[in-house]
Amino acid sequence: MNTSSIPGGNQAGGSRINWQALWKYRHFYLFVSPFFILFAIFGLYPLLFSLFLSFTKWDGITAIHWAGLYNFRLMLHDELLWRSLWNTLVIGVLYIPPMLILAFLFAQILNSQWLKLKSLYRAAFFLPAVTPMVVIAVVFSLIFSSERGVLNYVLLMLNHVLPFFHFKPIHWLDSEQWSKVSVAILVVWRWTGYNMVLMLAGLQAIPIDYYEAAQLDGANAWQSMRHVTWPLLQPVFRFCLLLSLLGTLYMFDEVFVLTNGGPGTSSTNFGLYLFNLSFTDFKFGYASCVAYSVAIVVFGLSLGINRLNRRNSEGA
Amino acid sequence: MNKAQKPNVMALRLATYIMLTLLAVVFVFPFYWLFTASFKTQAQIFVTPPHWIPSHLMWSNYTDLFQQTNILRAFFNSVVTSAGSVLLSLFLCSLGGFAFAKYPLAPGNNRMFAFVLGTMLIPGAVTLIPTFEILVHIHWINTYWALIVPGAVGAFGIFWMRQYMGANLPDDLLAAARIDGCSEFGIYWRIAVPIAQPALAALGIMNLIGSWNNLMWAFIVLRTPSMYTLPLVIYLMQGEMSTPWGMLMAGGVFTVLPLVIAFLLFQKQFVAGITAGAVKQ
């Protein structure tokens, strides 16, 4: 790397490959080459190899057997796969609305000028997003403990304040009805701050003039939120939604540590299912087939959502 | 601002403060519970009614942690793999981002960059098994390399650095350096890198959170206890039959603390880093 300057001005015209230009910009190719080399090894090759594996039976050790479309047929009758996708959906429905609403509220409040101690509040809500999931899940399994957990204790205490509800201790982690709720609570706790920060960035991008104009027109706080903030925050909101949907599908640590998909398979989401298929059962062929199929469906769906997103934001 | 505020505005604000503080307490509580449980005995952890404030600080969980587990080794492994991935990824992403931003006339620049962006659509779940197989074949299973190299250059990192350098690195400055006889790599290293420090900090923090917290990949590629990282040690401390809860909590504090301290010191950069991570659409 001892070339001191790039000679300028002697561009040789021509429509064929311009070797002179390639040589002139050799540093460009050199500098971007690590990405392409690593991508070829750890991206492109795996992508093609796993496509190939989708049509095979393989445990990772013995010989690879061609299986044709067997794996795809197997998927249709794989109850656990459909169960895990269903669980993914339920967990998503349980946590995404409260999380996004809470994140929006926090962002809205933290964005107001009169609030003091902003960075303190922001830190409190945001801290969960930077902490190792495994530790947090372990703490939550303590908190959720049905016999001696803090959460059930607080719930029973509430009976003194709100006697009409008759709260009973809830089997958070060891009952099929509640295991998904527990995962959802953990996820809300973990990801609300993250979404809050994204929405805060979105709010701060809204020009203050808009609010002043709304105020001049006699809009009250609610009206300016409804007619200024809400429409302008739509893209951020949809983006958070998309991230959360994908996150739920491929979520792993949360479920793996807190419930390990149980009791039974009641909280097994797709991410955990795929992991178990790959690294517990070592069904590499079938797992590749499932991963590929779901990824393609998801890709199609997000393309659809994105298009909707763009059409709507153009209309606004 | 209106000086004579109506009393109901004040009441509303007070209510907001109370609600916000209450929720903040709820959000911080698990950290508090982790921290205090690390100073309790097994019996105290599960006592009803709960001991909200530990009666005295009992350090035996920590001494047990250091004597009975290889936690310092795990800490070292976590530091090496995290530092390795952060530094390697910062170097390669900024180099690539610099090239994409500052050689716009290089043939293929735009198309190659579009390709880089396109790779972001590939979900990790699809490439997991083949990547694992590659590591088996090149004998990288149970090595630091397995945690550092496969994810070293992310498309997002290149995108992020390209945007920043494109906006903040004046072409005149680069031209002047060339005239002074600075090599192309020298321009990157001595001019672009120092200017891009805020972007590097954000990207580095994002990578740090990812690699420090990584459980699944560590679980897959690490085999012997001497190579385990902190999250893996914490995960495996949970026993089938009995779990040493106090020690586990102490280990948790040990794992969480570095990031919490870093976060409190560099809150701004953390937020920037996290927000940056989400710009990838």
- How many domains would you assign to chain B? 2
The whole-angstrom separation of Cα A260 and Cα A254 is 9
* Averaged pLDDT for residues A70-74: 91
**B75/B52 same-domain check:** no
**Domain A74-315 classification at class level:** mainly alpha
Angle, vertex CA A96, rays to CA A253 and CA A280, nearest 5: 25
Q: Is B1 a domain residue?
A: no
Shortest distance, CA A214 to any CA of chain B (angstroms): 16
Asked if the interface predicted TM-score (ipTM) of this complex is over 0.90, the answer is: no
Is the Cβ–Cβ distance between A236 and A199 less than 8 Å? Answer: yes
Instruction: Give the pLDDT score at A314.
Output: 61
* Averaged pLDDT for residues A214-240: 86
**B141/B51 same-domain check:** no
Contacts of B77 (CB under 8 A, 6+ apart): B144, B227, B228, B229, B230
Decide if pLDDT at A307 tops 70. yes
Amino acid at site A203: L
Q: Is B117 a domain residue?
A: yes
**B228/B174 same-domain check:** yes
Is the Cβ–Cβ distance between A195 and A99 less than 8 Å? Answer: yes
**B14/B130 same-domain check:** no
Q: Is A86 on the interface with B (CB under 8 A)?
A: no
Q: For A151-182, how does the pLDDT look when each residue is reduced to its tens digit (9 = 90+)?
A: 888 888 888 887 777 777 888 888 888 999 99
**B134/B73 same-domain check:** yes
Share above pLDDT 90 across residues of chain B, in percent, rounded to a whole number: 55
The whole-angstrom separation of Cα B25 and Cα B30 is 9
**B39/B91 same-domain check:** no
Q: For A102-130, how does the pLDDT look when each residue is reduced to its tens digit (9 = 90+)?
A: 999 999 899 888 888 888 898 899 889 88
The whole-angstrom separation of Cα B276 and Cα B207 is 11
* Averaged pLDDT for residues B206-219: 91
CB contacts, 8 Å: B269 with chain A:
none
Query: What's the CATH number where B91 sits?
Result: 1.10.3720.10
* Averaged pLDDT for residues A200-229: 86
Contact call for A133 and B213, based on CB within 8 A: yes
Nearest Cα residue to B109 out of A21, A13, A38, A20:
A21
**B88/B185 same-domain check:** yes
CB-nearest partner of B256 from A135, A201, A250: A135
Instruction: Give the pLDDT score at B79.
Output: 96
Q: Is B229 a domain residue?
A: yes
**B123/B211 same-domain check:** yes
Nearest Cα residue to B236 out of B99, B5, B95, B70:
B70
Tokens matching residue B67 = 């004597």
**B142/B254 same-domain check:** yes
Q: Which of B127, B149, B190, B221 has the highest number of chain A CBs within 10 A, making it the mutation to test binding with A? A: B127
Instruction: Give the pLDDT score at B114.
Output: 93
Q: For B13-60, how does the pLDDT look when each residue is reduced to its tens digit (9 = 90+)?
A: 899 999 999 999 999 999 999 999 999 888 888 887 888 888 788 888
Decide if pLDDT at B280 tops 60. no
Decide if pLDDT at B87 tops 90. yes
CB-nearest partner of A132 from B33, B216, B255: B255
* Averaged pLDDT for residues A1-23: 57
**B106/B34 same-domain check:** no
Split at pLDDT 50, 70, 90, the class of A2 is very low
Split at pLDDT 50, 70, 90, the class of A33 is very high
Q: For B220-249, how does the pLDDT look when each residue is reduced to its tens digit (9 = 90+)?
A: 999 999 999 999 999 998 876 678 888 999
The whole-angstrom separation of Cα A261 and Cα B33 is 24
What is the SS3 string spanning chain A? CCCCCCCCCCCCCCCCCCHHHHHHCHHHHHHHHHHHHHHHHHHHHHHHHHHHHCCEECCCCCCCEECCCHHHHHHHCCHHHHHHHHHHHHHHHHHHHHHHHHHHHHHHHHCCCCCCCHHHHHHHHHHHHHCCHHHHHHHHHHHCCCCCCHHHHHHHHHHHHCCCCCCCCCCCCCCCCCHHHHHHHHHHHHHHHHHHHHHHHHHHCCCHHHHHHHHHCCCCHHHHHHHHHHHHHHHHHHHHHHHHHHHHHHCCHHHHHHCCCCCCCCCCCHHHHHHHHHHCCCCHHHHHHHHHHHHHHHHHHHHHHHHHHHHHHHHC
The alpha carbon dihedral of B277, B157, B86, A249 has a sign of positive
* Averaged pLDDT for residues A215-235: 86
Split at pLDDT 50, 70, 90, the class of B274 is low
Share above pLDDT 70 across residues of chain A, in percent, rounded to a whole number: 93
Domain containing residue B46: 7-60
Decide if pLDDT at A40 tops 90. yes
**B84/B200 same-domain check:** yes
Decide if pLDDT at A54 tops 90. yes
Q: Is B40 a domain residue?
A: yes
Q: Is B69 a domain residue?
A: yes
**B143/B265 same-domain check:** yes
Instruction: Give the pLDDT score at B36.
Output: 92
- Residue spans per domain, chain A: 20-71, 74-315
Q: Is B87 on the interface with A (CB under 8 A)?
A: no
Shortest distance, CA A164 to any CA of chain B (angstroms): 22
Pairing of strands A65-66, A56-57: antiparallel
Question: Among all residues of chain A, which has the CA nearest to that of B25?
Answer: A124
Is the Cβ–Cβ distance between A290 and A74 less than 8 Å? Answer: no
Instruction: Give the pLDDT score at A282.
Output: 92
* Averaged pLDDT for residues A284-290: 94
Least confident of A235-249, A302-316, B94-108, B137-151: A302-316
